[in-house]
A and B are shown apart, each in its own frame.
Chain A
């Protein structure tokens, strides 16, 4: 005979809340799918879990607080009935099994159970609801091609407010372009895949009116050129490339002083080619003034540059372990 249940929901609210706060986040999520009542109880606790992200590879996953190792860090994977085989693209599946774990390495707090009937969209909805999260931090793609039919994927995930599209590992260019087409409301794109080493092949991405475009990663050999920089139309750009030179960025700033890249407010150039960034070359031909060291926030030397009498920006040059960082900031 099994032991009698512990009547959790008959406890005073203060005590039942405390019990849930003593659970691991993995178990809190499971508790929240036990019934509508438990879902509301978890929501009422206003638990802070940080950011959530979605990954679309062989299967779809929800990652919570993906860059941290805090108590709420976890990965929820949604598995189809059978392996996603057959001719691709396939429609987004109704999960048959669900697994949750605190981290991949230790499989700490690992749970696996039959999906309680929720679609992928309903799972994302559920996470957003119980943790009061309005925005999905990013939607990431790491495979050469997307396994899923784009219309089906958009139906499943398109209703969510997704901040960033993230292309990494071996994500292919066509996959990224289709993602941007179907999730066009994103405000940010991050590209860390070596398939994007040649920017001349994706000028359609460079010219997007984004809030942030991030290109380049240590796994890439991004061959960025001046023409690529001048095409960029985002408010903030962050470029890491071994082909960046002080001369190229100087020319970029000269173009800016003449009105190019009018939406740009912030730029970061990471020089990772062991070369030296010479401030004389970086500032050559620009109208500039050095900012006194005691007024510089952050490391390095800082200079004010003028586009015209009304528009002013700053350039900060900072040597790092990997090379140099050059930051541009529009002053409003």
Chain B
């Protein structure tokens, strides 16, 4: 399969230790190159690469189309994966609460508006990048810090019980497919 890029290829820093690079095409036809170590952070992409049988020799000739992720999000994701490709494996969390400090570089990277952050999480979830997922969720979780229930309803768009009930009623009142 061959897809002609409509925009210039986004360059990543040269990877001296591991010259294997892959090409990824976003839903809006932006093309990205990403190193092997970095792409391994995405379980979805790495499974795809493995299943497609891509190798060092044929990787750049076979761009991987990712139709669920646009160029803007892919750019953030590629930057993140390149930044963290040599990180040590995350320790297992000993309880259900994830206590970690978000590095400043990542906080800057994720200083984007709520709609962009929402789309980035959907993309991260699709590409199955656990570390980026943790970091995005920390940014969103931090929005709750020291807030009142009313403030949380606004910050997270949480409907009141009355609104939930009204939604439920209108859903049950609407005619079904055969109706």
Chain A contacts to B: CB under 8 angstroms:
2-12, 14-15, 18-27, 30-31, 33-38, 45-48, 71-72, 109-111, 113-114, 116
Task: Determine whether the beta carbon of A15 is less than 8 Å from that of B161.
Answer: no
Q: Give the distance to chain A from B39, nearest Cβ to Cβ, in Å.
A: 21
Would you give the 0/1 interface string for B94-137, flagging 1 where the beta carbon is closer than 8 Å to chain A? 01111100000000000001110110011001000000011011
Task: Determine whether the beta carbon of A71 is less than 8 Å from that of B141.
Answer: no
Task: Determine whether the beta carbon of B138 is less than 8 Å from that of A6.
Answer: no
Task: Determine whether the beta carbon of B144 is less than 8 Å from that of A7.
Answer: no
Chain A residues within an 8 Å CB radius of B9: none
Decide: A4 near B125, CB < 8 A? Known: A23-B144, A25-B97. no
Task: Determine whether the beta carbon of A34 is less than 8 Å from that of B153.
Answer: yes
In the complex, A33→B97 CA distance in Å?
19
Q: Which residue of A lies closest to B153 (CB)?
A: A34
What 19 additional pairs, Cβ within 8 angstroms, besides A4-B113, A5-B156? A5-B114, A6-B157, A8-B158, A10-B118, A18-B98, A19-B137, A19-B141, A21-B96, A21-B97, A22-B137, A22-B140, A23-B144, A24-B144, A27-B141, A35-B158, A37-B164, A48-B96, A72-B97, A113-B150
Chain B residues within an 8 Å CB radius of A8: 140, 156-158
Chain B residues within an 8 Å CB radius of A7: 114, 118, 156-157
What would be 11 A-B contacts, judged by CB atoms less than 8 Å apart?
A: A3-B114, A5-B157, A7-B118, A8-B140, A10-B118, A22-B98, A30-B144, A33-B149, A34-B149, A71-B97, A111-B147
Decide: A38 near B161, CB < 8 A? Known: A15-B137, A47-B97. no
Decide: A22 near B134, CB < 8 A? Known: A3-B113, A8-B158, A47-B97. yes
Q: Give the distance to chain B from A98, nearest Cβ to Cβ, in Å.
A: 9
Task: Determine whether the beta carbon of B156 is less than 8 Å from that of A9.
Answer: yes
Task: Determine whether the beta carbon of B118 is less than 8 Å from that of A24.
Answer: no
Would you give the 0/1 interface string for B44-84, flagging 1 where the beta carbon is closer than 8 Å to chain A? 00000000000000000000000000000000000000000
Task: Determine whether the beta carbon of A110 is less than 8 Å from that of B95.
Answer: no
In the complex, A2→B143 CA distance in Å?
14
Task: Determine whether the beta carbon of A5 is less than 8 Å from that of B141.
Answer: no
Partner of B146, one of A12, A21, A22, A27: A27
